[in-house]
Copies of this chain bind each other. A is one copy, B any other.
Amino acid sequence: MSRSVEEHVHEVAEAIRRAARRRAQDPPLLRPVTEELTGRLATPAVARLDVPGFDNSQMDGFAVHAADLARADIAPVTLPTVAHVVAGDARPPRLDPGSVAPIMTGAPIPLGADAVVPVERTGAGEFGPVDGGTLVEFREPVEPGTFVRTVGADVTSGAEVLEAGAPLHPAAIGALVVAGVESVEVAPPLRLAVVGTGAELVSGAVPDSNSRALAAHARELGLPVTTHLVPDDPDLLRDVLAQLAAGHDLIVTTGGVSAGTREVVRQTLEGTPGAWFDHVAVQPGGPQGLASVRLGDREVPVVCLPGNPVSVLVSFELFLRAPLARAAGRVAQRPSGSALLAEPLVSPAGRLQARRGTLTADGSVSLVGAAGSHLAVSYARADVLVLVPEHVTALEAGDTVEWWRIA
């Protein structure tokens, strides 16, 4: 039965989510916390340090005993300074009541002090070097705790920094470093196999650009990928898929899925348990398949894309990129928006049309190349996909269209 785009998006995403969940049951990888971390945490990361490590000042100003300023709004209070406290000072001296300590942002709060008054709220004016014994005037009371960053406010030693499954993006790496976490258990990454099919690829009559483009997408997401080429031979393809299932978590094929007489992927997998081959309501990329290969207790999904280069790239964007990015701990969404169309277009009834375009300086979108699914070079010059909804059959210049950024 043919499917809407939403149905196929859902089915492929579910298959990849299940594959990722199975893969996550393999032993985690112990990795040092460096900028090279990618993927997702397999187990929670636990703080080895309090963050912040000590009470410190949120402002440049003066560390004070709040009680000293209780009536400063009634009569200004003038207090002498002790030595300046700067960031990097390991153990500031105790601050006695009746005195204040000039303090820099991030510097440790002296023992005894319980609040910070920013320099601009005092009579000290501009903040220059302040020697001990200088007199500073305060005109307002201050609540205890004001502008004090409390030890452990962000996370305390022994508490969870990031939960199992958390993506290891740059901010996560920063958080692990600041919490003193030196190594983490990373979920093993989803292993992709890309299988190009077709006699014209095996003979070299047509270069296998699809496998290279899909492998490049996987690499950009940080996922390991291998590429393979199989002629139009169902027995051979069956063997190759079984072999690949042993060391991969997801197989993506290109070609051989439509209704012709030599459709090797369809002929090999149609009729296997749970397999689906039919049309998705999209142009290009209508013929699609989704099956799986069982090998002992392993069940490896096989996402079967059509063979035309543009169909492959559009299919990747619509069906594969988001769930793969999610599995890889990357941002799943593409930037999207709407813009005025610079020229008219026609679109088939009942199908989402994905055209290629460029966003121009004036904020409109121009089409690149025709609707044809073989225009791989035109695709590479585009920076957006223009998505024309199923019910729309024609648009005029100046009509609003939705776009997804692809470059």
Q: Which residues of B contact A170 (CB under 8 A)?
A: 213-214, 216-217, 220, 313, 316
Chain A interface: which size bin? 35 or more
Residues of A within 8 A of B (CB): 33-37, 47, 49, 51-53, 56, 58, 60, 84, 86-90, 102, 104-106, 126-130, 149, 153-155, 161-162, 166-167, 169-180, 198-200, 202-203, 205-210, 212-220, 225, 227, 232, 258-262, 307-309, 312-313, 316, 331, 333-336, 369, 372-382, 405-407
Q: Which residues of B contact A60 (CB under 8 A)?
A: 258-260
Q: Which residues of B contact A335 (CB under 8 A)?
A: 331, 333-336
- CB atoms of A203 and B90 under 8 A apart: yes
User: Whole-angstrom distance between the alpha carbons of A56 and B227 in the complex?
Assistant: 26
18 A-B pairs (CB sep. < 8 Å)? A35-B218, A51-B376, A60-B260, A87-B200, A88-B200, A105-B258, A105-B307, A127-B260, A154-B377, A171-B213, A171-B313, A171-B376, A171-B380, A173-B213, A173-B216, A177-B213, A331-B407, A333-B335
Q: How many copies does the complex hold?
A: 2
Q: How far is the CB of A143 from chain B (nearest CB, A)?
A: 16
Task: A105-B308, A154-B376, A174-B213 are known; give 8 further A-B pairs, CB within 8 A.
Answer: A87-B199, A104-B262, A153-B375, A169-B407, A171-B313, A175-B380, A177-B209, A333-B335
- CB atoms of A200 and B260 under 8 A apart: no
Q: How far is the CB of A88 from chain B (nearest CB, A)?
A: 3
Given known pairs A53-B206, A374-B154, the reply for A380 and B174 (CB within 8 Å) is: yes
Given known pairs A178-B309, A260-B105, A262-B86, the reply for A212 and B35 (CB within 8 Å) is: yes
Summarize A's interface: helix, strand, loop or mixed. loop
* Other-chain residue from B219, B259, B312, B376 in contact with A35 (beta carbon distance below 8 A): B219
